Chains A and B, each alone.
Chain A
Amino acid sequence: MKTKKFASLFLASSLLVGVLAGCSGGEEGSSSGGDTIKIGANLELSGAVASYGSSEADAIVLAVEEINAAGGIDGKQIELIKVDNKSDAAEATNAAIKLTSQDKVTAIIGAATSGNSVAQVQIATDTKTPMISPSGTSTTVTVADNGKVNPFTFRTAFIDPFQGTVAANFAANELKVKTAAVYADNASDYAKGLAASFIKDFEAAGGKIVAEESYVAKDTDFRSTLTRIKGSNPDFVFIPGYYEEVGLIVKQARELGIDVPLMGADGWDSPTIVDLAGADALNNTFIITAYSAEDPDGKAKEFADKFTEKYGKAPNSFHALGYDSVYLLKDAIERAKSLDGTKIKEAIEATDNLELVTGLYSVDEFHHPIKSATIIEFVNGEQVFKTKVNP
């Protein structure tokens, strides 16, 4: 979910110079008149990652309808303004400019990917418009490269390195393994971040890392490195990466007789992985996701039922995160008792164990969520809810 980081930063800044030259930074972006609250959704409704953005849009619509049917926020109805950023960072910046300067929205939800979220950060900051990225998992969405927190930017999904921590705790405490190997995609910051936090926390939990290997995205032959990993006899293999390679890795690992539990993160979460690896090979593998439709917890179950009723299919994590973003915002506006951007921002920062579909939600000083994670096990090609790890 981390795309075009640098390109988008560059575009965001260059566009700002060009387009916002006339808009002074102090402009009030949160003045919505009348008795509606305008919320912008800046999402990938077309283009390369349209499936992420449109999933979130569906769930956001559902959440807004629910809130409006129940009387809105403090008696005010929500008016949702959807803008398509075409899965493009420059378009995401344009969309954010439109939402803040023309529509004068109170807050923005979006974008689905980190790159397109980063592209809006500067505008959110300049216009003092709170912005919530439902599924941007890269650290850079809320923390700028110089280490400073972007004051008006928040996120609903946990950050990438947090998944490494969850995996380490799950391996050490639930599976009770003593040794682990790590096989990470060397071409992806996402995978390297997960691998680093897994190694740190697994060793802290008393485990031993017996092998640390890398591959590069687009490889197809992993047998030689897997043979090497097998030689080090790990009890567990952590494979942060994306499903296209992981599917092949899992298949080839099982062929070579690596029968220990394998684990990955949300990069595995795609139906394609079952085609690539085969249902048999995927048995005894685990992934971390923000959400499972099979979660028996009351709030999650209720959401799954409502969603299925409206759209005729089971929700996925993107749906759940989009839905939660709206409720996170609603909670903050209610506590802020104002539509002022700065007050809403302060209210979001003060969020403490808010109960959402994807679990309990709090915000740390870097605007990263501290929240529950769901562990899913593959059983004969089906994703089965295994356990929920609370923070």
Chain B
Amino acid sequence: MEWIQQLINGISLGSIYALIALGYTMVYGIIKLINFAHGDVFMVGSFIGFYSITVFGLGFFPALIISMTACALFGVIIERIAYKRLRNATRIAALITAIGVSLLIEYGVIYIRGAQPEAYPDVFSNRSFEIFGAQISSQSILILSVSIVLMILLQFIVHKTKTGKAMRAVSHDTEAAKLMGINVDNTISATFAIGSALAGAAGVIFGVYYTKIDPLMGVIPGVKAFVAAVLGGIGIIPGAMVGGLVLGVVETIVSALGFSLWRDAAAFIILILILIFRPSGIFGKNTREKV
């Protein structure tokens, strides 16, 4: 029964990685930029959710929506201010800018509110119940369902809407898309908005599930999500989802076997192995669809 429990632990952790990884992979797919500030958008989302709940007394869902909206806006602002003018610059220049933006957000938040951690309030009456001998809290079920709904919604946006079609087109060939009359700038902004909104949602979910949030909380999940995105094949949406879940489950298994101190190492060993043996990731090549 312990194994069912561990599987649930792993999937819960993995779904948070997956939500963050989606933003990485979407942005990479469209402008070939590893947006290192993405983990910090996740952190900002978590704090926005926290203040919506504690200061404005909102429930989980309103806080989630506010956080997603604010993060979408925040992502677009970052793109417009920092990345847009670098669109034709070298990729290394854009990458270094992304690291700079990441540090700016982290220490900007510390400057505004200090570095002390906050404890997320309990927004649900947290009941645990047993399924096949495993303890499942109502929180983890809700978190899982929110993540799944968001991922389905994303698939819908990418495949069934005009914006999604434009995103796929720009990802495939920016120049050709421009010639076809697609507004590339707006499409890129839309990609940042959607990716950042998912990070914001992940931030709120993380806060509810793990309780403690602080201004540097985005660093490790950001890096892990990057590993997840590479694992699945960077630029490929289903790859990010699967990569996130696989990484979460692998980390949990490593801990479950009693090697908890090796957990972070496992994530990076996976990254190294993938880069050596299959740089295009699990889903690379086979599905050429990129966003």
Q: How large, as a class, is the contact surface on chain B? A: 20 to 34
Interface: A247 (CB within 8 A): yes
Tell whether, in the assembled complex, residue A220 and residue B212 are in contact, meaning their CB atoms are under 8 Å apart.
yes
Interface: A224 (CB within 8 A): yes
Tell whether, in the assembled complex, residue A227 and residue B9 are in contact, meaning their CB atoms are under 8 Å apart.
yes
Interface: A260 (CB within 8 A): no
Tell whether, in the assembled complex, residue A216 and residue B210 are in contact, meaning their CB atoms are under 8 Å apart.
no
Tell whether, in the assembled complex, residue A272 and residue B119 are in contact, meaning their CB atoms are under 8 Å apart.
yes
List residues of B (42-94) whose CB comes within 8 Å of A's CBs: none
List chain A residues, Cβ under 8 A from B6: 224, 227
| Cβ 8 A contact of B260, one of A215, A248, A275, A278 | A215
Tell whether, in the assembled complex, residue B260 and residue A255 are in contact, meaning their CB atoms are under 8 Å apart.
no
List chain A residues, Cβ under 8 A from B102: none
List chain A residues, Cβ under 8 A from B212: 220, 244, 247-248, 276
Interface: A364 (CB within 8 A): no
List chain A residues, Cβ under 8 A from B253: 224
Complex alpha-carbon distance, A391 and B210, angstroms: 39
List residues of A (114-164) whose CB comes within 8 Å of B's CBs: none
Instruction: Evaluate whether A223 and B9 lie within 8 angstroms (CB atoms) in the complex, with A186-B261, A228-B256, A255-B128 already known.
Output: yes
List chain A residues, Cβ under 8 A from B2: 227-228, 230-231
Q: How distant is A202 from chain B, measured CB to nearest CB, in Å?
A: 20
Tell whether, in the assembled complex, residue B261 and residue A216 are in contact, meaning their CB atoms are under 8 Å apart.
yes
Interface: B280 (CB within 8 A): no
Complex alpha-carbon distance, A228 and B253, angstroms: 10
List residues of B (86-134) whose CB comes within 8 Å of A's CBs: 117, 119, 122, 126, 128
Interface: B135 (CB within 8 A): yes
Instruction: Evaluate whether A220 and B210 lie within 8 angstroms (CB atoms) in the complex, with A227-B6, A231-B2 already known.
Output: yes
Q: How large, as a class, is the contact surface on chain A? A: 20 to 34
**C-beta contact mask, B254-286 vs A, less than 8 Å → 1, else 0?**
011010110010000000000000000000000
Q: What DSSP secondary structure best describes chain A's contact surface?
A: helix
Tell whether, in the assembled complex, residue B126 and residue A221 are in contact, meaning their CB atoms are under 8 Å apart.
no
List chain B residues, Cβ under 8 A from A223: 9, 12-13, 252
List chain B residues, Cβ under 8 A from A225: 255-256, 260
Tell whether, in the assembled complex, residue A228 and residue B258 are in contact, meaning their CB atoms are under 8 Å apart.
yes
Tell whether, in the assembled complex, residue A247 and residue B119 are in contact, meaning their CB atoms are under 8 Å apart.
yes
Tell whether, in the assembled complex, residue B135 and residue A255 are in contact, meaning their CB atoms are under 8 Å apart.
yes
Interface: B145 (CB within 8 A): no
Tell whether, in the assembled complex, residue A214 and residue B256 are in contact, meaning their CB atoms are under 8 Å apart.
no
Interface: A256 (CB within 8 A): yes
Q: How distant is A309 from chain B, measured CB to nearest CB, in Å?
A: 31
Q: How distant is B163 from chain A, measured CB to nearest CB, in Å?
A: 34
Complex alpha-carbon distance, A248 and B10, angstroms: 17
Q: Which among A213, A216, A224, A257 has the highest number of chain B CB atoms within 10 Å?
A: A224
Complex alpha-carbon distance, A188 and B9, angstroms: 26
Interface: B174 (CB within 8 A): no
Complex alpha-carbon distance, A272 and B260, angstroms: 25
Q: How distant is A192 from chain B, measured CB to nearest CB, in Å?
A: 12
Tell whether, in the assembled complex, residue A257 and residue B135 are in contact, meaning their CB atoms are under 8 Å apart.
yes
Known: A221-B210, A230-B5, A276-B119. 19 other contacts (CB 8 A): A214-B260, A215-B260, A221-B13, A221-B251, A223-B9, A223-B12, A223-B252, A224-B6, A224-B256, A224-B260, A227-B5, A228-B2, A244-B212, A248-B212, A255-B139, A256-B135, A272-B117, A272-B119, A276-B211
Binding site for B on A (CB under 8 A): 186, 213-216, 218, 220-221, 223-225, 227-228, 230-231, 244, 247-248, 251, 255-257, 272, 275-276, 278
Binding site for A on B (CB under 8 A): 2, 5-6, 9-10, 12-13, 117, 119, 122, 126, 128, 135, 137, 139, 210-212, 217, 220, 251-253, 255-256, 258, 260-261, 264
